[in-house]
Amino acid sequence: MNMRFILYFFLITFQFGCMNAQKTYNQLSAEESQIIINKGTEAPYSGEYYYHNEEGTYLCKQCDAPLYKSSDKFDAQCGWPSFDDEIEGAVVRKTDKDGHRTEILCANCGGHLGHVFEGEGFTKKDTRHCVNSLSLSFKPLEFLKVNTIDTAIFAGGCFWGMQYYFENQKGVKSTEVGYIGGHIENPTYEDVCSHKSGHIEALQVVFDSTMVSFEALAKLFFEIHDPGQVNRQGPDIGEQYKSAVFYRTQEQKQISEKLISELKSLNYSVATELIKATTFWKAENYHQHYYSKKSGSPYCHFYQKKFK
């Protein structure tokens, strides 16, 4: 067998293994797996959240991503929890295998939620997300008021690949790709690619600091791209692909400085810039969760353990 092919096969296998190791989800019961993984349906009127009226947020049972607000819940008298709106970007729609209904899935992990229906006239929004209780967990409003939610912003090449590695990390509540660091408002992808706006492709990560630390996320950031490359990442070349941590607090800056020092002590080249965060502009919807939608994997990012 050709030695080059053997080496290529080994590298792909290693990358795939590391990639999968990064995706961590909550352990599911057999009943939950039947619904979320195997796309089953629980019996009507049997779910924990059908008669549930407490204020708070409904989360994905598999990955804890926020999906629905209690203010959007209503009683459709159908036997399953019903919502007339989702948290922006939290739910993906696709044609069901029956070819007629529209299935809804968690945008973060792809877990099956249920189906969405329109034109029934239940509410002014004329939409009904019919969701299995077993696909959900719930955080009361009082719990959500505890200030454990934090935000980190990283830039390290094409933001598609960055999001791919962060979106399924335990403790990460949501991720958005977008633009930061430029001098115009509401930049478009075309503005950024033209090099006239000064923006950089970046990833905004909202996380629960009781479940994952900024330092752990920053380590992942340094381990999924080459921080030694200047204004590029692999085949993507240009200032919008620079490596940078856009720190929101002095603590985030100090942690990033410490990690850079560690990498340099391990003989890694580091060109990562530390820049005070400015306005983060969310990118167009077709850029969000790109690889999850396309069932693909990054072409210029791969995981390599660097820290001891």
| Catalytic positions, written as ranges | 130, 158
Output the six-digit token pair for 245.
């941590």
Helix (H, G, I), strand (E, B) or coil at 143: helix
Separation of alpha carbons 262 and 272, rounded Å: 13
Closest CA to 85 of 116, 106, 107: 116
How far apart are alpha carbons 222 and 210 in whole angstroms?
22
Q: How big is the chain, counted in residues?
A: 308
- Sequence-distant (≥ 6) Cβ neighbours of residue 77 within 8 angstroms: none
Residue appearing with tokens 């990562």: 272
Task: List residues bridging with 153 in a β-sheet.
Answer: 204
Beta-bridge partner residues of 150:
207
Residue 292: alpha-carbon gap to chain centroid: 9
